[in-house]
Structures are given as C-alpha cells and as structure tokens.
Structure 1
Amino acid sequence: MMTKPLLARLILSLLLGAIAVFSYSPFDIWPLAYVSFTGLLLLTKQKSAKQTALIAFIWGFGYFLAGIHWVYVSINQYGDLSIPVAIIILSLLVAYLALYPMLFAVLLRLFNKVCPAYSLKQFIILAPLIWQITEYIRSTLLNGFAWLQFGYSQLESPLAGLFPILGINGVNLLFTICCGLLAYLVQQFIQRRLHLSKYKLHIYGASCTILVIFAASFWFKHINWTQLDYTRQTNITLIQGNIPQSLRWSSKQLNKTLQTYAELTQEHIKDSDIIIWPEAAITDFEYNQQPYLKALDLYARQHDTAIALGIVDLVKNEYDYQIYNALIVLGGLTPYQYPTKNRYIKHHLVPFGEYIPLQQLLSPIAKALNIPMSSMSAGPAIQEPLTMKGFKFVTVICYEVILSNLLWQNFTSDTDFLLTVSNDAWFGNSIGPWQHLQMARTRALEFGRTLLRSTNNGITTVISPKGSITKQLPQFQTAALSVTLNPNTGLTPYARWGNYPYYLILTIFIIIIFLRQKHLK
C-alpha cells in the first residue's frame, strides 16, 4: 500500500522532472535544469530499492513527457492515428526513456558501499559518472535517442563557455557535478550540521567550487578561439519552401513543389554564389528527376552558382536496392551526371522515421504510423565535405546535427562552414523545432564555425561561431534568407581534441571511486 509520504514524493518527482522542459528552448530558463536534476539526486534516498526505482522512473516520465510531448503531433496528425492510439504510443516511448533515470538511481544505490549515500564523493563523482554512462546507453542503444541532454539547457548559462573546450558531453558532466554540489549543500542544511566545523569546511568548499566553475566558464565564453578570414567571402541563400507535411509526399504536390523551389531559386540566383534547399526538398527518387536536375544544373552553371538540394536516392543492384537520404550539389565545373560524387548521404537514421529497428518484431508499428521512406539505408560515418564555390562544408542532415562526435569525425582544420538541412514540419507549431535549433547552435559553438540551417518550414537560420542566431526566417512562411559570410579559421580545443579530455576526466573519476581511501562525507 502506498503511504502518503511516498505519494507526495512521487508527485514532487513528477513535477521536478517536468519543469526541466522550461530550461530548454524556446524558454531558456536554464536555472530550472539545476532545480530538476538536484531534486532527483535528493529524492532518490529511499528505504527500499523499489521506492528509489519508482521515484526515479516517475521523475524520468515527467521529464520526457514534458520534453518530447511534441512527438504526439507526428503520430496523430501525420501518422493518421486516433488520439487514444497516439497517446498510447507516446506513453510507451516516454516510459521507455524513463527507464534510464531509473537505471541511474538503481546503480547509484548499488554503489553505496563504495560511495556512501549522500556523501560528497557520491554527489560529485559517482552520480555524475553513472549519469554519463546511462546517458551514453540512451544515446546509442537501438541507434539511440540523444535528445534532451541537460548540457543543451546551459547554452545561455555561464557554462556555455565550456562548449568549445569540452563539448556537449563535458558540459553535461560539469552540469551534474554542479548539481551534486548543490544537492550536498541542501542535504547538509536539511540535516542541520552547519554548526560542525568539518561540515562548514565542506560547505564552503562546495560553494566556492560552484563559483569557480561558473567564473571560469564565463571567462572562457569571451575567448575567440577562431578568427574570420577576411580574404574570402561568399553570398549564400537558404530556401524555405514551406511545403505542408501532409502534402509533401503526394504525387499531386510534386510538380508544385518543384515549381516553388525553382521560382525561389530564380529570384535569388543572380545575387547568390551558393543556394541551399532543405532536406528532401525533392520528394522523389533522383533518377526519376534527371531532366529537372540537368536543367537546374545548367541554369546554375550559367549563373556561376552552386545549388545544394535534398533528394531521395534509390540505388538498385542485382538482388536488392537501397534508399538514401541525400544532399547533392549542382552547378559544378562539369555538368551534372548521375550519380555525382559531390554529395552527402545521411549516416545516422532515425528509428521508425527512416528505418525499423528489430524489423520482424516492430514492423507493424511502422506500418501503423504510415511514415513514407521508413526503409532507408545509412551512408558511411566519414564522408568528404561538400565543396561549393571553393568552400568546404561539413554536412549533416536533420537529427544528425545533435551528434557532436559525428561532426567531429568529419571536421578538418580547413572546414569553412557547418551545414545542416532539415524538415521539422513533422512537429507542427510545437517546441520540438526550437529544441532542435538549440542543439544546432551548440555545434557552431563547439567548432567555432558559422552553421547554416536550411529547413522546409522553419526554423531556417544562420548561426554564428559563438552559437548566436545572426539571421532567421519566420516559421511557416515561403521565403529565402540571404547572407554574406566570411569563413572562420583556427580550431577550438574541442575541434582539435574532441572527447578525449572528457574521457580522461571519466577515467580519473573511476580511479578515484575504486581507490581504497577514506570515504569523503
């Protein structure tokens, strides 16, 4: 039987998980992330392992329900499923994701003998380490779902200065350490140990550590790790076609879509060196559109302009075929001839959206969702950059922009710009596209490069190497965004070393945990 104190803790944990959504875009109230995760740390001390697991699960359910409720729009409006079925599918997804905070709490409890509960060592070393492990599993298992990592909530906080040094994983780690210090301070206050000198020392140390982390991060935020190259300049136009998701894959809509993008391109081609269309702007197989693509290529070369466009590529062989989500470049030095080499093929596919995990078991769900192109194949992890008018673009498509390590594998010192194309129309007028944009902004900050983001119906933006939005189109409008840009040179520490410093910190944490020494309290 559930007691009133336990019920109160469950309600509180649900609320603490849910309020974290306001720390992400478009709200950006970043201190709430500390309230949410610190609350989780403090609530997981229960008399039984079952209570610990239940409270952490409820916290995770509130966290992910509030954070990704916009998936309902895709399921209900564009999957053509009834409201009850859409709610059930969303609930199952949220419940699955909530298992990871539950796993975190259970593992934290299992290691009580190594790091006693509510000790300083547990809060600032063991808890951050286990959280990173469970987040890694969440980001990789069944191709992973790395959405809503707490580090992204800190894009507007002082910790943002650490993105060019440690990347998203390092900021996640520092964030959890700060929360651990806050939890320790709260716990000491609750236990009324302030009058004991040994605890005063710990309290002063914890407080000073938080201040030092924030002060150092704030100082790093003002360092210019990369510099503009004023000797090179280009005019780039991003096209936002604003094709309704309900019509995009209709054969009746295809000609109108081609006409829309052609007209927008024609309006800006005289003043643009490079024009970029969004993901799958042409909703047809590339080999079916050869006359259109060759005419567009000739038009681009006549105006000395490069055009990058999203398209679906079907490659047949003797026994099978593969479907790829591709971005190809027209208007090169030589006429377009299928298949061109100057293309990017999406590597990291989205489960159910682009491929079906555990296909024999889960294919009925995919059929029920009625998602077009849900049997795609992945391109290689490492690909040559797209080259347009002498500039090199490290490119990712849609969801891939949240995968920092994928960009790092393809990034080189002579990379000029970062480029991502997307179609967030699946999520309607929800907070989903804003969260997606927040993660794209983080990539620009990590690598110290301008990031260009072309989307179907928003949010189309140009993001500075500091992670700020320099230009942006309104959502749900057919429009084009033109900008004159200089590339950046130089490397941020993260662009140079990637996650190696982060791995080093984790290794040190593991060594500290298992050293036979007196427990910190």
Structure 2
Amino acid sequence: MAADSRWMLLAAVLVGACNVAAFAPFDLWPLQILTLAWLFRQSMRTATLRRAMLVGWLYGFGWAAAGIHWLYISMHTYGGMPAWMAALAVALLAAYLGLYAALTTGLAAWLRRRWAASDTTLLLLILPSLWALSEWIRGWLFTGFPWLTSGYAHSIGALAGFAPVTGVYGLGWIAALIAGALVLLLRPASSKKLAALVVVGLLAGGWALKSVQWTSPNGKPISVRLLQGNIAQEMKFSNEALLSSLMMYNDMISATPADLIATPETAVPLLPQQLPPDYLERLARFSATSGSHLILGIPLSDGPGQYTNSAVGFSKELNGKAYRYDKHHLVPFGEFVPPGFRWFVDMMHIPLGDMTRGAPLQAAFAVKDQWVLPNICYEDLFGEEIAAQLAGAHFAGLPPASMLLNLSNIAWFGNSIALPQHLQISQMRALETGRPMLRSTNTGATAVITPDGVVSERLLPFTRNTLAATVQGYQGLTPYILLGNKLMLALTLIMLAFAWRRQRQSRSSAH
C-alpha cells in the first residue's frame, strides 16, 4: 500500500473522531457537515468498492470510538470488568457502528457504477439518502443505538428549524445534502449553481422555520422542583449508604411544596416491599397535604422475576392511588439480557439485569392544567416512540402530554461528555415535539428545556441541589408528531427512485 494511501486511511479515523466536536459540549455544528463532506469526497476518489467501504468504516469507527469512549467507565470503573476487556468492548462496539458508514459509502460506490451516476446524482441524491437511511436503521436494529446520530449536532444552529418537521434523522439527511453540495462546488464541470442553491436554500429554510410556532401554550404555568441527589454510582446500591440516601431524598422532597416535584431514575433503588415501613406513605402524605404532585423514580415488581424500571406519582387528586409509568425501551445488557450474553451481565455486576417492558402507550400524569409524560434515561434517544405516544394519546381521545419529563441516572459514565450529549438529546426531543423537556438526574444534567430546544435553566453537574423553575406547558401537534420518521423515509426513497429514473433516462438517450 502506498504511503499516501496509508495516510488517507489514518486521516479517515482522525476526521471521524473530529466529528465529535460538532456535538455537545463543543457544539461546533458546521464541523459535522464539513467532516461528512470530506467523507463523501474521499469515497468518490477511491478506485474500488472495497476501498470505499474501508474509508467509510474507518470514519465511522473514529467517530464512534471518540464519541462513546465513556462506556469504558461504566464497564471498568463501576462494572468491575478488567481494563483490557472494557477497552476491547468499546472498540468492538465502535467497529460495529462503523459498519453503517461503510455500508453507506460502499453501496453508494456500487450504485454509482451500476447506474453510471453523475457527480450531481451521487452527491445530491444517492449519498445523502443512503446516509440518512443507515442512521435510521442504526436507530432500531438490535433494539437500536442512535447515540450521536448526525442530526443531534444541529439541535442548535441554522438547521434546527427543521427538527419539528423531519426529526433528528431528517436533520441528518439535510446536513448530508449540504455536505454533498459542498463537495459538488469543488468538482470541475459540475452543477455549481444547483449546489450553491441547495446550500443557501437549506440554511435559509432552517432559519425561517425557527420562527414557526407549531405548538401553543396550554393552561397556566406550573412550579417545578427537579432534584439532583448526586449519589456516587459506587454508593448507590451500597447497604451502608442506602438509608442515608433514602433520608436525603425524603428531606429534599419535603423541603418545600411545588406543583411538580421530580426525582431522578431509581432515586429510591429498592423495591417498595424492601423500604423502611411508612417511607412511601410519608411521601404520599406530604404530597396530599402540601398540594404537590410527586414523581418518584423507583423499581417495581409485579411478581417473581418481574421487575420494571418505573416512576410512581402521588397527588391529592389520585385519592390514595398512585400513578405509574414503566420504562418501555430497555437498555441491552443493563436492563435486559440478549440471548447468549448472560455471562457479560454477570461480569458487569449490574443489579436488576432482566426487566419487563412497559406498554408503548402510557397515560400522562396530571399536574393542575398540565399533563406530564415521563421517559426514563435511555428512552429519550427514541424520538419516534415519544412522538408516537403523543400522537396515540391524541387519536385515542386521551389528554396529550403538555410537557415531557426525563428521569436519568448516568453516574455510570462519570464526569464525561456523556452528560452534555444526553442533554443535547433531550433538546432534540423538545424541538421535535414543541414541548418543554424537564430533566431530573442523579449527577447531571438536571435542566429545563424550552419548546425551541433552549436550555433555560440547569444545575451544575456533580452537585447536590434542587432546580426550582416555573414552566409553561404546550399543546398541539408538530409535523413530526403526526408523521414520525415517515416523511424522512419517503423523501430519501423518492430521491433514490429519482436517481434510478435519471439512470434509465440516460441509457435510453444513449441508445
């Protein structure tokens, strides 16, 4: 292999790694488009299909390895896995995630040859569509791993206005269109005017859509208190610390009333029957006497071997009954064990390794004029599922949620970029649904996010504190709530069909 060729392969890894700077906490969103443009240009310049796939895989591997390296902390520091094995596990996951970029560049190279596609067809129709489809597939295949999907880089910036229309995968497609147009501007004898129009038109369209109000205020604002306990992960399930943690949350909850008080995921890490006598009853009495509505993160059991990662709600209006939300989208290896991987979970020493899924459509929690829909930790990565719950409630005649609430504990990942990355994911959910997103987390980032995706208030991570705020709920359906990912899928498939049609017309003209 020539020396310049080896340097290009190394550059693919480094450019992929640099792409991480486009996401939180760095927020250099244009970098996402520029690195993708580099990938498209290099994949065009390769002589073979195998080479195109290799460039794509190295780019994807560098991107994933730099972006999710914090998984090493959960596996080694808190899971007890040997360092070499934890590093290998992260590398293998990054290698797997790199396959999606490899399939994009490889399939694009194959279609370019088979269809004799022009540069314009390749860069504006084929590559952007395949890129978006590959990210969408990554979001659901094997239960999905959509972390660092391209569109998240654009939760701020010029393209954010497209989020309520196309969702995060559609944003990735739009960014890929701009990347392809930028490459086209550098090609000799290419459609430079069309490319310039695509770049300017999409950037201007994103800015213009920011001014569209897809949803409107619902009822009166409510006061909220979001608790951040800052319990170290190594202490969370420790017998020595359990009692003090329970008392700490009891004191934080009952410190002062609010319309809504929310704790992080598994703030109470024991099943109700394992708690000290009268613990939940005391919290319910405080809720009833103070007029507060409390949502508490706690595991529940419906029978032997049937556990759920849940949130329970108490309020005076429930007349002694409890609201319940069960986590629907579970984390592989953390909350359910894929077949054949029991040994991995045993090595990680993860409590409650096998759990039961909640129903796809669950009722929201009534808080005065507002309806609050919880999601637990990893669930807010799946915007199509949250949108489906909002749409399902609307068409079933149930009160659609007017605000979203994420309960999380990502202390598993230490003081890493996982915290701001997860906050950015919640910002995207607010943009897609046109609703505020509240976050109550163990170590961060506890925050209030407005319907336009702006973090209006937040707590410093790794501090024990309470975020008090007044939040206005919103009603209405964004295009993304109504259509989910169907619009993105339709547009990408139409673009691929159009590319195929152009190829057929070119052949007919040649004959």
TM-score, structure 2 length as denominator?
0.93
Q: CA deviation at 1:92?
A: 1.2
2:129 touches 2:493 (CA, 8 Å); kept in 1? no
Q: Is the 8 A contact 1:160 1:217 kept in 2?
A: yes
Aligned to 2:235: 247
Q: Which moved more, 1:52-61 or 1:450-459?
A: 52-61
Deviation at 1:334, TM superposition (A): 4.2
**Distance in 2, Cα, partners of 1:498 & 1:143:** 17
**Aligned residue number for residue 474 of structure 2:** 488
Q: Which residue number in structure 2 is paired with residue 204 of structure 1?
A: 193
More off after superposition, 237-246 vs 387-396: 387-396
- % same residue: 31
Could you say which residue in structure 2 is the equivalent of 1:366?
A: 345
Q: Secondary structure at the match of 2:506?
A: coil
Match of 1:383? 362
Matching residue of 1:313: 300
Deviation readout 1:12-53 (Å, 9 max, x if unpaired): 111110110000000000111012111111122322333222
Structure 2 Cα separation of the partners of residues 262 and 57 of structure 1:
50
Q: Contact between 1:329 and 1:388, CA under 8 Å: does it hold in 2?
A: no
Q: Is the 8 A contact 1:237 1:268 kept in 2?
A: no
Name the amino acid aligned to 1:498: G
Q: Does 1:419 align with 2:405?
A: yes
CA distance in 1, matches of 2:216, 2:284: 34
CA apart distance, 1:137: 2.3
Q: Secondary structure at the match of 2:298?
A: strand
Conservation of the 8 A alpha-carbon contact between 2:161 and 2:207? yes
Give, in whole Å, the separation in 2 of the partners of 1:245 and 1:311.
16
The one-letter amino acid of 2:359's match is P
SS in 2 for 1:487: strand
Corresponding residue to 1:402 among 368, 372, 381 = 381
Structure 1 portions without partners, runs of 5+: none
Alignment correspondent of 1:78: 78
3-state DSSP class of the match of 1:486? strand
Q: What is the CA–CA distance in structure 2 between the aligned matches of 1:219 and 1:334, rounded to whole Å?
A: 44
Matches of 1:115 and 1:210 in 2, distance apart? 25
Once the two structures are superposed, residues 216-269 of structure 1 have per-residue CA deviations (whole angstroms, 9 ceiling, x without a partner) of 11111122222334x513111101111111110122221111111111112122
Name the residue aligned to 2:397: none
Alignment partner of 1:326 is 2:310:
yes
Q: Residue type of the partner of 2:370?
A: F
Deviation at 1:489, TM superposition (A): 3.0
Q: Is the contact between residue 388 and residue 481 of structure 2 (CA under 8 Å) also seen in structure 1?
A: no
C-alpha distance in structure 2 between counterparts of 1:268 and 1:441, whole Å: 28
Quick one: distance in 1 between partners of 2:351 and 2:181?
47
Q: Which amino acid aligns with 1:219?
A: A
Distance 1:370 1:118 in 2: 54
The equivalent residue for 2:281 is 294
Q: Deviations over 1:315-362 (max 9, x none)?
A: 11xxx531100011012434545xx4x21110111111111112xx22
1:352 match: secondary structure: coil
Cα gap change, 1:204 to 1:334, in 2 (>3 Å): closer
Distance in structure 2 (CA, Å) of the matches to 1:101 and 1:221: 30
TM-score by length of 1: 0.91
Give the drift of 1:395. 1.9
Aligned residue for 2:72, secondary structure, equals helix
- Which portions of structure 1, spanning 4 or more consecutive aligned residues, are displaced by more than 6 angstroms? none
State the Cα deviation string for residues 485-517 of structure 1 (Å, max 9, x = none). Answer: 222233333234333332331332232133222
3-state secondary structure, aligned to 1:111: helix
Is 1:36 aligned with 2:35?
Answer: yes
Q: 1:363 Cα deviation (Å)?
A: 1.6
Which residue is 1:478 aligned to? Answer: 464
CA distance in 2, matches of 1:444, 1:43: 35
User: Alpha-carbon deviation of 1:146?
Assistant: 0.6
For 1:241 and 1:506, how far apart are their aligned partners in 2? Answer: 44
Q: Which amino acid aligns with 2:337?
A: I
- Name the counterpart of 1:169: 169
| 2:328 paired residue number | 347
* 1:385 and 1:410 in contact (8 A); partners too: no
Structure 2 residue aligned with 1:141: 141
The alignment yields a C-alpha RMSD, in angstroms, of 1.8
Matched, 1:267 2:255: yes
Q: Is the 8 A contact 2:254 2:286 kept in 1?
A: no
Checking the alignment, whether the CA contact within 8 Å between 2:133 and 2:489 is kept in structure 1 is no
CA distance in 2, matches of 1:174, 1:114: 25
> Deviations for 1:439-494, whole angstroms, at most 9, x for unmatched residues?
10111111111111100111000001111011101111111011122222333332
Residue 430 (structure 1) aligned with residue 416 (structure 2): yes
Distance 1:103 1:497, change over 3 A: closer
Q: 1:236 aligns with which of 186, 206, 224?
A: 224
**Contact map agreement 1:109 1:117 (CA 8 A) in 2:** no
Alignment of 1:81-96 (within 5 A): 81-96=81-96
Count how many residue pairs are aligned between Structure 1 and Structure 2.
497
* Equivalent residue number for residue 22 of structure 1: 21
Is this contact kept in 1: 2:228–2:441, CA < 8 A?
yes
Q: Deviation at 1:384?
A: 1.2
Letter in 2 for 1:501: L
Q: Kindly state the Cα deviation for residue 298 of structure 1 after the two structures are TM-superposed.
A: 1.3
Partner residue of 1:357?
A: 338
SS at structure 2 position matched to 1:517? helix
Q: Does structure 2 retain, via aligned residues, the 8 Å contact 1:294–1:336?
A: no
Aligned equivalent of 1:99: 99
Match of residue 54 from structure 1:
54
